[in-house]
Amino acid sequence: MKTSPITAVLLALAVLLFGQLIAAPASAHTALKSSDPEKNERVETLDRVRLEFTESVKFPSVVLHGPGGRTYHEGEPELDGAVVVQDVADALPPGKYTIGYRVVSADGHPVEGEIPFTVIAPDSPSPTPEESAAPEESAAGADAAAPSAPPAAEQPSAAATDAAVDAAAETEETGGGVPAWVWVVVFGLAGVGIGMALSLRKKS
């Protein structure tokens, strides 16, 4: 049986139209294009979550789950066409997190998913060579500023001290055991007594 050219053309158009009807729903659904942070990314800090879709979306919802089941999102997400931005509350402690999102595409089809990522502790900066040398220089300066002990030769020895004590003892023995100032006092009193006696004799 022969097929007329008109029938062949109609068949081709029907097949083409059927294929377009099947592909149309699939192409109409939006999808996540990019995210910040990305899936399985390791970050030190995070101030906000940014999601970009292949087309404009509506009714966005974003949650951020952290360690212990706590949520860290703050306020409502901001929508700008195909971009959704969600603020993060406080500083995120180290641990594993999951971003859960849900939006509605232009044709009313809901799109949702999850993005896991990890927050790591920032690396502490290692000391530079100049910083490492600074404590050593300070210690050296402190040692230089500390007063040094006088040489042993300048300090009076025990032997010299004993010799001085012996010399003082010999001096006292040479004076008969009576200090010199006692004799000065005795002779002074004697002179005063003689002077007074002479004065009385003259008055008599």
Q: Write the DSSP string, 130-189.
A: HHHHHHHHHHHHHHHHSPPPPPTTTSPPHHHHHHHHHHHHHHHHHTTTS-HHHHHHHHHH
Give yes or no for residue 138 having a pLDDT over 60.
no
Give yes or no for residue 165 having a pLDDT over 50.
no
Domain residues of the chain, as ranges? Answer: 29-119
Give the pLDDT confidence score for residue 41 in this predicted structure. Answer: 97
- Measured CA to CA, the distance from residue 1 to residue 106 in angstroms comes to 48
What's the CATH fold of domain 29-119?
Answer: Immunoglobulin-like (2.60.40)
Give yes or no for residue 194 having a pLDDT over 60.
yes
Could you tell me what percent of the chain has a pLDDT over 90? 40
* CA-angle at 92, arms to 89 and 94, nearest 5°: 165
The model carries a pTM of 0.50
Give yes or no for residue 153 having a pLDDT over 80.
no
- The answer to whether the beta carbons of residues 103 and 111 sit under 8 Å apart is yes
Query: Band of the pLDDT at 146, cuts 50, 70, 90?
Result: low
Give yes or no for residue 148 having a pLDDT over 60.
no
Average pLDDT, the chain: 75
* 3-class secondary structure, 21: helix
pLDDT tens digits, 59-108: 999 999 999 889 999 999 999 999 999 999 888 999 999 999 999 998 89
